[in-house]
Structure 1
Amino acid sequence: MKSTLLRSIVLLTFFFKITGALAQDLSTREMDRINWMEFSEFVPEKITTVLLPTGTLEPHGVINNGADNTAPFAMANELADELNALIAPTLNYGMTGSMANYPGAFEISEEAYSLFIRDILKGLAKNEFKNIIILNGHGGGQTAVLQKIAAEVANELGVRTLVINWWSYASDVTLEVFKEDGGHAGLNETAYIQAIDPTLVQKERYQDNQATAYPKDKSWSAVPFPSAIGLYQEGQGYPNFDQAQAEEYFQKVNEKVLKLIQDTIAKWDLAGL
């Protein structure tokens, strides 16, 4: 009698340990930190969305050269739980363009970048993600390449892709929070980085003459671009280093991007795509 009862207790204990382990939360959202066995338990049965941060290394005024990587990775971390998504490792090197000659910058050719990003997206599709969301931190020619390759992979492999230039999509948030336009390494981008990690902002190095407005009419171009801060509007977008505004901007940008992704996925589902 006692031995039968003991065996039952042991079996029940083992059962609850096993079922408890299977029911436990995902240990991490980051793909390069998750174990392959845990990955297989969650993808694609429980997780179908992946966030891919992309950027480059280039000068950004008085914030870090890797700001284009820091921003989308932090954004992915903020959004991953709400979207029930994994975060792919950040693609840190990109098509830097007119700032490639600054110290610490790197330039990847369009040919190499196109092939590499295509294989990354194909790899994410192979791993059975249905929704591939690219959070892009760097513009210029890189945007066009990402949009082109993402569209091709979506059509070829039957996955769903979305490419977001966060600073551009949230331009209305910049105007709401700061009452003026921003710029590359300007008011808005500097604030976003400051909200992530104030130690990445060396405001003691800042001078107003470090900024140049981009020509609206393409009447001139210069390589390298003459300043590490590029303003979208003449006289607007100079960094102000206000921590409260930075945190407000960070939160509102993330909320806007989150809603875009949620709405897009919902409409894909509604259309049966």
Structure 2
Amino acid sequence: MKLFLVPILIALNATVLFAQQNPSSREMDRINWMEFAEFVPEKIPTVLLPTGTLEPHGVVNNGADNTAPTAMAKEIAEDVNALIAPTLNYGITGSMAAYPGAFQITEEAYRPFIRDILKGLARNGFKNIIILNGHGGGQTKVLQEVTAEISNELGVRTLVINWWSFASDVTMEVFKEDGGHAGLNETAYIQAIDPTLVHKERYRADLATAYPEAGTWSATPFPSSIGLYQEGQGYPNFNQAQADEYFQKVNAKVSKFIKEIIQKWDMAGLH
């Protein structure tokens, strides 16, 4: 009887050991304070903070800028050994704010709010604060400035990644053309996450407008919810296999980069 119990006890001990090495969830709002204390910062020194906004995205959901970085964080968290902070769903929408369902947070409100979130993450012991940003424009500028301030003030290490521009080479590799705001790159990424959020039947080519060259013209609101980086490129003419390939390759590129940056911080002895 005792011999029969030995493999069971070994299996139970292995399960307990695994549980001690890995949290029950990588999402901060799904673990309790005791488990958090067991892992941060000794075992998990890094946190991923997805940021986005609510604004129109052609034929995909208004929350695409939240959907994308949230899914990305869940895909790469274990690989980069990070916890995931709750997504900041409201942002500085800018020239798309007039469209139905969009929300605009002023810079005056957004800047101190994101600053306090970063301070809270630092106070809770995270050494590396990585923002996976899903929305550009003025929001990028604020995120870059505030993260730099927090890094210098509190001695934490910060990184802001605009995934769609960082992965522009992946867009060209998979689709053989450029993308855009709500272009084929964003639309494909969302389709890989949840095809029910994409409504290609609503798409028309005249819904899209190429972004102007710098200094040529500007319009507020922007006249289209789809902004193409290159005239005639970026229409959602991809298939599911390409969407899935794009999703995996973008995530792999972002994950690899985060690990490289952390390794270089460590090699340089930066705290």
TM-score class normalised by the smaller sequence: over 0.9
Counterpart of 1:195?
192
Does residue 212 (structure 1) correspond to residue 182 (structure 2)? The answer is no
Contact 1:190/1:241, CA 8 A, preserved across alignment: no
**1:75 and 1:19 mapped to 2: Cα distance?**
28
Identical columns (%): 78
Amino acid at match of 1:49: T
Question: Which amino acid is the alignment partner of residue 129 of structure 1?
Answer: F
Q: For 2:86 and 2:119, locate their aligned partners in 1 and report how far apart those are by CA, in whole Å.
A: 15
1:84 and 2:81 matched = yes
* Runs of at least 4 residues off by over 3 Å: 16-22
Q: Cα offset for 1:218?
A: 2.7
Per-residue CA deviation, residues 187-207 of structure 1 (Å, 9 max, x unaligned), is: 100000000000000111111
Q: How many residues align?
A: 261
**Structure 1 position 28 matched with structure 2 position 25:** yes
Q: Is the 8 A contact 1:48 1:131 kept in 2?
A: yes
Letter in 1 for 2:61: N
1:19 to 1:233, Cα distance in 2 relative to 1, 3 A: closer
Give how far 1:23 is off. Answer: 2.8
- For residue 219 of structure 1, report the CA deviation from its aligned partner: 1.2
When the two structures are superposed, what TM-score results if normalisation uses the length of structure 1?
0.92
The one-character-per-residue Cα deviations of 1:211-233 (angstroms, maximum 9, x if unpaired) are: 00000133111111111100001
Q: Structure 2 CA distance, aligned partners of 1:198 and 1:17?
A: 38
Give per-residue Cα distances to partners, 1:115-165, cap 9 Å, x unaligned.
000000000000000000000000000000000000000000000000000
* 1:51 aligned onto 2:48: yes
Which residue number corresponds to residue 101 of structure 2?
Answer: 104
> Any conservation in 1 of the 2:136–2:162 contact (CA below 8 Å)?
yes
What secondary structure does 1:82 align onto?
Answer: coil
Residue in structure 2 matched with residue 149 of structure 1 by the alignment = 146
Unaligned runs of 5+ in 1: 1-11
Structure 1 residues 39-80: Cα deviation after superposition (integer angstroms, max 9, x where no partner): 001111110000000000000000000000000000000100
**Aligned mate of 2:72, from 70, 75, 85:** 75
CA contact (8 A) 1:57 1:104 kept: yes
Query: What secondary structure sits across from 2:191 in the alignment?
Result: helix
Note if contact 2:192-2:243 (Cα within 8 Å) is conserved in structure 1: yes
Q: Kindly provide the amino acid, as one letter, of the partner of residue 50 in structure 1.
A: V
TM-score for both structures, normalised by structure 2: 0.93
CA distance in 2, matches of 1:19, 1:134: 32
- 1:130 alignment counterpart: 127
Structure having the higher Rg: 1
Of 248, 251, 254 in structure 2, the residue corresponding to residue 251 of structure 1 is: 248
Q: Say whether the 8 Å CA contact 1:50–1:88 is kept in structure 2.
A: yes
Alpha-carbon shift at residue 25 of structure 1 (Å): 3.2
SS at match of 1:226: coil
Q: Which residue in the other structure is 2:257 paired with?
A: 260
Q: Is the 8 A contact 2:54 2:63 kept in 1?
A: yes
Q: Once superposed, what is the RMSD of the aligned Cα atoms?
A: 1.8
- Unaligned stretches of 5+ residues in structure 2: 1-8
Partner of residue 235, structure 2: 238
- SS at the partner of 1:113? helix
